[in-house]
Structure 1
Amino acid sequence: MSSLIHQSCQSKIPVYSLRFISSLVIVENPLNFQSRHEHDLTIFNLFNDRNRTQKPTIRETRTIHAHILKTALLQLDIFAANSLTDYYCKSAAMGDALRLFDEIPHPTLISWNLMLSGYNHNFQFEESWKIFCRMHSSGFDPNQFSYGSVFSACTASEAILSGKQVYSLAIKDGFFSNGYVRAGMIDLFTKNCRFDDALRVFQDVQCENVVCWNAIISGAVRNRKQWVALDLFHQMSSGFSIPNGFTFSSILTACTALGELEMGKGVHGWVIKCGAGEDVFVGTAIVDLYAKCGDIDEAVKEFSLMPVRNVVSWTTIISGFVQKEDSTSALQFFKKMRQVRAEINNYTITSVLTACAKPEMLEEAIQFHPWILKTGFYSDSAVKDSLINMYSKIGEIDLCEMVFGEMGNIKNLGTWAVMISAFAHNQSSGRAIELFQRMFLDGLRPDNFCCSSVLSIIDCLHFGRQIHCYTYKAGLVFDVSLGSSLFTMYSKWGSIEESYEVFEKIHDRDKVSWTSMIAGFAEHGCVDRAFQLLREMVFEKIRPDQMTLTAILTACSALQSIQRGKEVHGYAIRVGVGREILVGGALVTMYSKCRTVDSARRVFEMMPQKDQVSWSSLVSGYAQNGCNELALLQFHEMLMTGVEIDCFTVSSILGVAAILTGSGLGDQLHARITKTGLDSDLSVGSSLVTMYSKCGSIEDARKVFNQIEKLDLITWTAMIVGYAQHGKGEEALRVYELMRKEGMEPDWVTFVGVLSACSHNGLVEEGYFHLNSMTKDYGIEPGPHHYACMVDLLGRSGRLKEAERFIGNMPIKPDALVWETLLGACRVHHDVELGRLAAKKVLELEHCDAGAYVSLSNFWADVGQWEEVLKIRSMMKGTGVKKEPGWSFV
């Protein structure tokens, strides 16, 4: 219609007369040709004497309407009526448009189509549907443009049933093979998550219309059916339809989503061959492909070759650098974007804010905030949300609250979710929960994102169950992201069965939810169930990724299940991820934990790229399996390669240094740790305390202990155990009391150190007191190590009979450690009869342990029973037990 209205004034007048004056008007109003000519020219000039780059305002439209009414010819000229209707639609005055339309005595199909498109343009989709129904009941046969408009209305209002009715009418009217109509129906289904129905519509007729191909391919991409989109593209390319820029944009998006860079390069070749490379949308899709697939250099190259760049292409390259965590380059491109005066939108701003969301970018972040205020983007809610997120990531929680407070009466649930997430990220769980509760007071109902953020940081299972009940009531529980947060919360609190119940209720489980549930089973030692879930995942045709396989390998590591680990390794090789960094590191850890360090080494050597985790896994694997020299060599190679060492690696190698007490390695490592700034880490501090203690430097251990600002339970325990091992029981007990005053609750390992300290100082009454305190004050049931410490305490004090009675009254069955401790006491005090009993019990419990035989042999040698010594050595030969040879650095 617009093309008809805006024709050049130089067209001949009889053409207008024939086109826009109904025959009825001519019959009823026999105007002479000259007056008709002048009238048409006047009407045409009224609608043509405007700047066409601007939309008409309601005031301008009503002025034109009044001028036409003066001529008293509005009812006689369908061109004027349609033009005026079009203007009312464009000026968003649909009420005036409808009143004018109702006054047209004989509306044409163009008139009806103007109303349909007008309602769509003004987002009044239900009214568009009503006018179509009225048009049909009035006896007008819709054309392809009518169907296109009503399909758009049904799509936007998600009226699938109405769309099906329209499609049936189109088929009845002979539009079955019309590509424009079928594309509308395909678009309706794909935009309402009914891709299978869209595919059936597409396949009903063999199609060579590029519009239909584009509709189904873009629909597949929209519904995350990326491989289907690629298959459709292959079919299209093999037929008679030539892909255009829209096709290439969609298919490049599919390659990007799949991470299929090589396939994307093939499509890029097609683009060059078809000459579609100059299309700005295609060029942007190519840049996006290379950027998101990790080839940022190629993305920059393609970006530089684009003849025309719009705001989307600039934002795409900036986002590419953000994804690569290259904030400096992202800001440089933003600076260039401003220099060339390119358009900047809110997506550009949010990308730059993400680039600034790092502690080291604090200065740039603070400078960027005033620019946003100056340019007016501060009024955009998405920009404010990104500002809150940025300040959260750099630890400026007060600035987060400032931005949030400046929003006033906030109704956007997304903003609340971002602020709750900011509190959670900065360990302010109380304030996050308080904000969550405030939403209800303000009359808001938290959505899945708000609930997910709170579930990630709650410290009370009861409160988590309350949120679970709310999600049931609000109908959110079936959402995949919220469901994943719920079952992860239950898993974190040890309620693995409740976790699995939530998982089963999620409708469309994605790869992340499957992986999270598998990881939950793995963390709780349910390896069989984790494997069963992995099989179900594969059966559901959801391909496990590196994260999934890493989770299942973690379970194999925890239970030292080498057979299952090998099965996963085989599957990883079969699907082509066996040498990937993430899986490779997990395999190295699994083989190390299963005491197969040779296999761990082979996996490590086969990895084309080795990261910090894989190096650390191998070093710790050697250390845990007693391969101390190999651990040191691997650590040295790691340093020579330039790989940054982390706390995990340092803690492992400090354990080796604690064993190699005479090498001076500990001092060298301590210097290296201080130089790299890792000495502030708690795990490293604890390892240093332990290392110095085992090396006999208890004073150095105390110095390290005093330099740690925030002590955790492991560090306190390491210091207590260190003092106990050095016979400084009183110092150990003083540290224990200081720990209690600091509000730190001991665990079972701490009490081993405390009881050991009592043993070294002969503090029998204190030992009984602390043993009783374990259960009474802290609810910790004593184990074999605690009872062995008490037996050692009584034995050192010469109270052997009391030690024997103590063993007889133990609530648990005494193990070999307890009897061997008593045997050692009998050896010191030369109690042959009790020693004979203890020896008998040790042999019954550990008949294959070389250490037990050595202890017995030494006992009989000390009391002069050489015949018994010979018997013990004969028994060792008979059972095949061998004593490991001793070694020394001296």
Structure 2
Amino acid sequence: MAELLRNSLTIPGSSCGGGGGYSFPHYPTTTTFNFKTLVPSRRRLARINAQSSLVITSEDSKSGGLNHSSTELIKLHYLEERDEEILSRRILNLSRLNKVTSAVELYRSMQFSDLRPNSHACNSLIASLLRNQMLDSALTIFESMRTSDLISSHTCSLVLKAVSNARGFDAALHMFNDLESQVDVRKIFDPIVYNTMISVCSKSNKWVQAERIWRLVANSNTCIATSLTYRLLICTFVRCGQNELAIDAYEEMIRHKLDPTEDVMHAVIGACSREEGKWELGLNVFQRMLDDGMKPTIVDCNSLINALGKHGEVKRAFRIYQAMKSDVIGHKPDAYTWNGLLGGLYKANRHGEVIKLFQRIKDDEEEENNNNVINSHLYNTCLMSCQRLGLWDKSLQLLWEMETSGFQISTATYNLVIGACEVARKPKVALQVYERMMDQKCEPDMFTLSSMVRICVWGSMWIEVEQIIKSVVGSNNGDWSSLYNIAIQGVCLRGKSDMATKMYIKMRKSGLEPDGKTRALMLQILKDKTKLSEVVSSSSVS
């Protein structure tokens, strides 16, 4: 009898022990339980809990910004309820209420009792752990889900994003590669997982890894790239300066008949403006934005104008300018707009129109009392056209305007004015500009000095030539042999053989080497080769 009482118990349908006790309405009328078959038993659970080393760890960041680790012991519970769906709903509710410890204990108890929670409950539990900054515990749950074939694409996406935020890009990439290498896990990958990883790469500007994941999606038989995939790829490539890859991704997106979003079109227009020979695609994207009722930004318009101007498409550039001012777009031209238009006209060798357009911009600025449009770049573009046309007086006028307007005048600006004087054969004016440049403490460069030497030689200003060369040669700031070469060649062509010989000797004494043209001209002047060798030897000895 004692053995029977230890091993079995008969429970009537309405009472326990016939004394009007607790009722069990969900059991049959008479049920016999063998306590040895109830796994785990209460005694066994008590013994396991006493020896358990299962813990959950959290990072508490609410104490004045300091991190304090807290550890809670996870206990296993005896589960009278055996229905997996009911228990899964309990885990789901506990996770939503952020009762993390209770949810983890129930999850572990189900595992120990050989019960499987559903994937939705497991994902909710991992999300709750991540919300409470318990990444290590979440990874432990994730690993147990993986061994139990419970993980889904949503699970992988949650964990990859959390690992990236907590441990950095490299840890997330290592985990992704590990998961992707397992065939059974790779089968559950969907666009969400790949998009999550591309987003992780984008945040770290890792365009090489983003391209690799793109190729994985393209070669996958079970996954197709979505609009979000291409959006992430295009924006990442453009931000990292990989314009060709961005254009390839956009063209593949169009082939798959996916509609690009507005930010994708902005990025593609920028990529087309920077990539050689892609202005036609940029125009198509611009037109598509207008057809879809989108409003291109002023950056889009300026990028297209600049790209079209560089490729000599001046008419198309001005069409974009007209569309930009229209009521449909309604942008006001700024300095970048005018710089693109002036640069396009200059590229097309329409220098007179450059000067006219610049004058119109100045007049409009004066009428609107707006001083934010004209800048030194616009002045320099106009000065470049003046140099090509030899309009030295116009160049001087623009230089004076820049000085009176308070612009910081660079060496390049003075070079353009001196170049206009050189084209117009005005050596005295060029010398005055050079002296003004020196008075303003603006350091001349090789282009400045070369122009001054050429124009002074042409004007037979020999003293000035020697002074310019003497002021820089020997300063140890560079190789000034080109100045001597320019001077000697110019003097030879002017028939001043004695002066050319003196300059040649000074050049060799300074340790500078003449170029081939200088040697040839000196041979013509000094027809007696012996005399030339004497000159060279005497200069080398001295």
Question: What is the TM-score normalised by the length of structure 1?
Answer: 0.31
Greater fraction strand = 2
Greater fraction helix = 1
